[in-house]
């Protein structure tokens, strides 16, 4: 089987860190690099957690790069705290040491090196804002030719986004909202973009039945890890609130491992960078094409991720 070469840039949420874990279990994926941006996380615990996940579940050979990027609209502190909880889990601290090193270069330069040093084209997986990619393209525009595609958790074409902040109209998704200019910069390129938008992630909320399933199968160390991580964030019970957790990034990562789980349609779109709708992605005939994942087989998705976790 030809492996896909993946560079993964994430922002340290529970579903970002579970995505890293699942990538390490995929037979059809070769990770060429990992970097962390302090958007929906604090940098230090998110980098530590990433290094420990690679130590525990990977085969070595990777380092983790820190981003020095800054966004425009900060994430709520409560959400950014999640990385501390994952980093403190006993399963990641059993060995008492951290082997996977921190990279010398900041994330955007680390990614440029990884793309250049890989003979094959690289697929980019981004589960946070696109700031590091926008900066890498400014620094080394020629890497565009060596990017197979960008798979991104971001955006929505529905009326309702998931940003509920003062001075905003609620139409944006958070990964776009944190740095709308970065998304607009990437929209200017000819990179093939697969967008896992809220259309499909809304279909995979964390629910009590999913938690129960993982609890029942906790004899598998990887399934126990899922259960422990998803104990930290609120499930959907009666109705969706601002803090209700969905498997946004995990669906994005699963799509990369198995595209049969979802349905995709092409939409021409632009990114709004200013004003009360900043961070909104809008469908318009003269916009740039993106492949939007708009539907997912929910049960097949949860089966797929749980089976991957059992391999650990």
The contact set with ligand AGV (CB under 6 A) reads: 13, 15-16, 40, 79, 127-128, 153, 162, 173-175, 243-245, 248-249
Return the number of the residue (214 or 248) whose C-beta is nearest ligand AGV: 248
Q: Nearest distance from residue 248's CB to Ca ion, in Å?
A: 7
Of 145, 128, 235, the closest CA to residue 182 belongs to 128
128 in contact with Ca ion (CB under 5 A): yes
How many residues lie near Ca ion (CB under 5 A)?
Answer: 6
In the bound state, the residue with its beta carbon closest to ligand AGV is: 13
**Please, which of residues 5-24 interact with Ca ion by CB under 5 A?**
11, 13, 16
Return the number of the residue (190 or 243) whose C-beta is nearest ligand AGV: 243
Return the number of the residue (69 or 162) whose C-beta is nearest ligand AGV: 162
**162, interface contact from Ca ion, ligand AGV, none, CB < 5-8 Å by kind:** ligand AGV
CA 14, 227, 251, 257 dihedral sign is positive
- Region of 60-68, 189-197, 202-210, 243-251 interacting with Ca ion (CB under 5 A): 243-251
Q: Nearest distance from residue 161's CB to ligand AGV, in Å?
A: 8
Q: Nearest distance from residue 125's CB to ligand AGV, in Å?
A: 11
Length of the chain: 312
Q: Nearest distance from residue 306's CB to ligand AGV, in Å?
A: 19
Return the number of the residue (128 or 257) whose C-beta is nearest ligand AGV: 128
Return the number of the residue (113 or 182) whose C-beta is nearest Ca ion: 182
Q: What is the DSSP string of the chain?
A: -PPEEEEEEE---HHHHHHHHHHHH-TTEEEEEEEE-SSSS-HHHHHHHHHHHHHHHS-S---EEEP----SSPPPHHHHTHHHHHHT-HHHHTTS---SPBPSS-HHHHHHHHHHH-SSPEEEEESS-SHHHHHHHHH-GGGGGGEEEEEEE---SSS--S---TT--S-S-HHHHH-HHHHHHHHTS---EEEE-HHHHTT-B--HHHHHHHHHTTTSHHHHHHHHHTTSSPPPSSS--TT--B-HHHHHHHHHH-GGGEEEEEEEEEE--SSTTTT-EEE-TTSEEEEEEEEE-HHHHHHHHHHHHHT-
Site string for Ca ion, 19-58 (x = CB under 5 A): ----------------------------------------
155 in contact with Ca ion (CB under 5 A): no
Q: From CA 141, how far away is CA 21, in angstroms rounded?
A: 31
- Region of 52-60, 116-124, 227-235, 246-254 interacting with Ca ion (CB under 5 A): 246-254
**174, interface contact from ligand AGV, Ca ion, none, CB < 5-8 Å by kind:** ligand AGV
Residue 122's CB is within 10 A of a number of other CB atoms, namely: 23
Q: Nearest distance from residue 164's CB to ligand AGV, in Å?
A: 9
Q: Nearest distance from residue 224's CB to ligand AGV, in Å?
A: 21
Return the number of the residue (50 or 127) whose C-beta is nearest Ca ion: 127
257 in contact with Ca ion (CB under 5 A): no
Which residues neighbour 11 within 8 Å (Cβ) at sequence distance 6 or greater?
A: 36, 37, 38, 39, 40, 41, 46, 127, 128, 129, 175
Return the number of the residue (173 or 179) whose C-beta is nearest ligand AGV: 173
Please give the residue ranges that form the binding site for Ca ion (CB under 5 A): 11, 13, 16, 127-128, 249
């Amino acid at each position: 089987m030809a492996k896909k070469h993946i560079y993964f840039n994430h922002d340290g949420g529970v579903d970002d860190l579970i995505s890293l874990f699942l990538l390490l279990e995929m037979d059809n994926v070769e990770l060429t690099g990992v970097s962390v941006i302090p958007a929906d996380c604090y940098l230090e615990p998110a980098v530590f957690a990433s290094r420990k996940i690679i130590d525990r579940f990977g085969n070595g050979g990777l380092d983790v790069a820190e981003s020095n990027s800054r966004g425009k609209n900060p994430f709520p502190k409560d959400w950014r705290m999640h990385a501390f909880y994952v980093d403190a889990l006993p399963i990641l601290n059993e060995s008492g040491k951290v082997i996977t090193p921190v990279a010398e270069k900041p994330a955007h330069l680390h990614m440029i090196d990884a793309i250049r040093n890989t003979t094959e084209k690289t697929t980019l997986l981004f589960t946070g804002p696109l700031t590091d990619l926008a900066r890498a393209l400014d620094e080394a525009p020629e890497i565009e030719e060596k990017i197979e595609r960008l798979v991104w958790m971001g955006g929505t074409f529905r009326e309702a986004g998931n940003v509920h902040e003062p001075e905003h109209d609620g139409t944006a998704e958070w990964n776009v909202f944190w740095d709308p200019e970065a998304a607009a910069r990437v929209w200017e390129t000819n990179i093939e973009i697969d967008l896992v938008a809220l259309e499909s992630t809304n279909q995979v909320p964390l629910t009590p039945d999913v938690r129960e399933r993982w609890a029942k199968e906790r004899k598998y160390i990887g399934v126990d890890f899922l259960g422990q991580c998803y104990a930290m964030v609120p499930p959907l019970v009666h109705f969706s609130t601002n803090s209700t957790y969905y498997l946004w990034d995990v669906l994005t990562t699963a799509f990369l491992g198995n595209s049969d789980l979802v349905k995709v349609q092409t939409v021409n779109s632009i990114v709004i960078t200013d004003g009360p709708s900043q961070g909104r992605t809008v469908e318009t005939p003269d916009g740039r094409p993106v492949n939007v994942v708009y539907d997912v087989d929910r049960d097949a998705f949860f089966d797929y991720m749980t089976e991957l976790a059992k391999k650990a």
